[in-house]
Homo-oligomer: A and B are copies of this chain.
Amino acid sequence: MAASTRTSPSPPDEATLARYAELVVGLGANVQEGQIVEIRAAVGKRALVHALARAAYRRGATFVDVAYFDPELRRIRIAEARGKVDFAPPWSGQRVLQLGQLRSARIAASPFSTPGAFDDLDPARVAVEPFPQLPEYRQLIDDETTNWCGIACPDPEWAALVHPELEPDEALGLLWQEVLHVCRLDEDDPSAAWEERFEQLRRASAALNERRFDSIHFEGPGTELTIGLFPSSEWTGGPTETVGGIRHVPNVPTEEVFTAPDPAHADGVVTATKPFVLKTGTLVEGLVIRFEGGRAVQIDARSGGEALREYVSRVEKADRLGEVALVDREGRIGPLGTVFYNTLLDENAASHLALGSAYIDRVGDDDRGRVNRSDAHADFMVGGDDVEVTGITRGGERVPVLRGGSWQI
């Protein structure tokens, strides 16, 4: 926990940003000579965007196409536009699909807006306004045509949410220090540290794949849930490859091993162990979901419940599971004990599930027609040291998988 005990951390200087950018452009997105590189970030994050662009051009990128997202423009639209706000001009989605056709690299820096930034607006309008997470991006992920990397970039408003007890400068400095720590940027050779972690994730995946569990059972405070797997459900973690064979790491940091479950089999109740942020920007806290036959039949939350129900009812098959992911306590995020209100970081602190779309390459060809396909993908955290994860074999044997956050297999 060295990261949080140093005094008065400050935001990174240019050299540190350059080092972060090199890790992201290199190990993360693995930008190739001659590629177009898309960078998506909130308009306030120019310093990191510039560092990423510089690093990408130095690796031989042909063109860096930065899509700045301005959360204030989204607010103005939702608040002021007279009619519906679900329209996106045709060129927005076409651009995304062309990024895939041209085999581009992609980097996205979260958060695009401060979690909860739109919670004072009409939830029905917030739910349908389509920027910045256009559905076409999910198509790119399914097609595996782009080598991409999602990262986190602190900003003052987000830091104030995560560390409300600190002065603004200190909060921003500490959040940056935590982000750089969980990205292994405080190691002499961050890439080597990551390769070591990827080997651990590979071993855990291999052990899970060897067992071919019929289902996974979560049991803890407020949680008693069984999720069915396909015979071909394959666990994986760390790097992946594009259809063209470019290795890349879709999330930095990443601490999870995950697979695509059978969307027809989930039964029981699950209580989220952390708040999470819907892609519409709504903060959801105190979430409890009841599943029957794979479907989320009841969704309650202390806050954000209406927005989540609206989202789930609006988007086809957003009420079924597309991902089950396991996270041990050897990662760097969980031990910090910080709630980041950021999916990238929080989902790598604890085991989690996702409502909506699956990563279809996680199952064999025979089962690809049966995994959940949806424009939605909403991760929520269900794991913790007091949540037991158990694998159930086809023969009915119950095999401990995670106990106290440690692998048992």
Contact residues of A with B, CB < 8 Å? 36, 43, 46, 49-50, 53-54, 57-58, 60-66, 68, 70, 72-73, 76-77, 80-83, 87-91, 94-95, 98, 102
Query: Would A72 and B50 be within 8 Å (CB), given that A57-B82, A95-B91, A95-B95 are in contact?
Result: yes
A54 touches B80 (CB 8 A): yes
| CB-based nearest B residue for A36 | B89
A57 touches B43 (CB 8 A): no
A340 to chain B, nearest CB (A): 26
Query: Would A60 and B76 be within 8 Å (CB), given that A91-B91, A98-B90 are in contact?
Result: no
B57 touches A66 (CB 8 A): no
Copies in the complex: 2
Query: Would A53 and B77 be within 8 Å (CB), given that A46-B72, A91-B95 are in contact?
Result: yes
A53 — which chain B residues lie within 8 A by C-beta?
A: 73, 76-77, 80
| CB-based nearest B residue for A84 | B62
B91 touches A77 (CB 8 A): no
A17 to chain B, nearest CB (A): 13
A50 — which chain B residues lie within 8 A by C-beta?
A: 72-73, 76
A326 to chain B, nearest CB (A): 39
A82 touches B70 (CB 8 A): no
A68 to B127, CA, bound (A): 25
A80 touches B62 (CB 8 A): no
A65 — which chain B residues lie within 8 A by C-beta?
A: 89
| Max chain B C-beta neighbours (<10 A), residue from A36, A43, A57, A83 | A57
Residue in contact with A57 in the complex, picked from B58, B68, B81, B90, CB distance below 8 Å: B81
| CB-based nearest B residue for A91 | B95
B60 touches A77 (CB 8 A): no
| CB-based nearest B residue for A57 | B80
| CB-based nearest B residue for A39 | B73
The 30 listed contacts between A and B (C-beta, < 8 Å) are A43-B43, A43-B46, A46-B70, A46-B72, A49-B73, A50-B72, A50-B73, A53-B73, A53-B76, A53-B77, A54-B76, A54-B80, A57-B76, A57-B80, A57-B81, A57-B82, A58-B80, A62-B83, A63-B77, A63-B88, A63-B89, A64-B73, A64-B76, A66-B70, A66-B73, A68-B68, A68-B70, A89-B102, A91-B95, A95-B95
A270 to B87, CA, bound (A): 51
A94 to chain B, nearest CB (A): 6
With A57-B81, A57-B82, A64-B73 given, name 6 new contacts (CB 8 A): A43-B46, A46-B72, A50-B73, A53-B77, A57-B77, A63-B87
